[in-house]
Amino acid sequence: MDVEELVGRWNLTAWTATDENGTVSAPFGDNPQGCVIYTPGGWMSGQLAVADRRQLPTPVVFAGTESERAEAYSSYLAYCGEYRLEAGEVVHTLHMSLFPNWVGGEQRRTAELSGDRLVLATPPTPMGGRVLVNRLYWIRAE
């Protein structure tokens, strides 16, 4: 795969997480929402969300109770930064992230491209006492 094949906007069709025993789960449910954009200049932005997220009972973005905000923000993931291709991987170098611990670091994803379909997979990652490989399935939108 080369940069020209990756450039564009991609819509999320599925997100699976497979543990070391082969058990598969769907972290954001059966119909996650998301898009990732790769520009020709080497910039990317990605956003993922649980479908049909509950609205907060306030029009003020930083208002709501702590538990309401926690629910809202734990059902959404977003980051942006630079990207490069490296031996079958897309490497995202993060400038901003909803999860502040990722800022300044890299997120590596193996990349498989077939026509207008893209699969990005994380390396095995310890999470909640298990080791997971997350796979995000995308279809080209433009």
Domains and CATH numbers, the chain: 3-140 (2.40.128.280)
Nearest-angstrom CA–CA distance, 9 and 125: 26
Hey, what are 5's tokens?
Answer: 């094949």
Does residue 112 come out as left (phi exceeding 0), alpha (psi in the -120 to 50 range) or beta?
Answer: beta
Beta bridge partners of 135: 16, 121
* 86 has a pLDDT exceeding 90: yes
Any residues with CB less than 8 A from the CB of 85 and at least 6 apart, and which? 1, 2, 3, 6, 91, 111
What pLDDT is attached to residue 68?
94
Strand 125-127 to 8-19 pairing: unpaired
What pLDDT is attached to residue 81?
98
Q: pLDDT (tens digit, 9 = 90+) per residue, 16-75?
A: 999 999 999 999 999 999 999 999 999 999 999 999 999 999 999 889 999 999 999 999
Q: Please state, as a whole number, how many other Cβ atoms lie within 10 Å of the Cβ of residue 34.
A: 20
Q: Find tokens 């977003």 and name the residue.
A: 78
C-beta pairs of 101-106 under 8 Å, 24+ apart in sequence: none
Please choose, from the candidates 110, 112, 73, 108, the residue with its C-alpha nearest in 3D space to the C-alpha of residue 94: 108
Instruction: Write out the H or E segment, with its range, that includes residue 71.
Output: helix 66-73
Whole-model pTM above 0.85? yes
Q: Please state, as a whole number, how many other Cβ atoms lie within 10 Å of the Cβ of residue 136.
A: 23
* 128 has a pLDDT exceeding 90: no
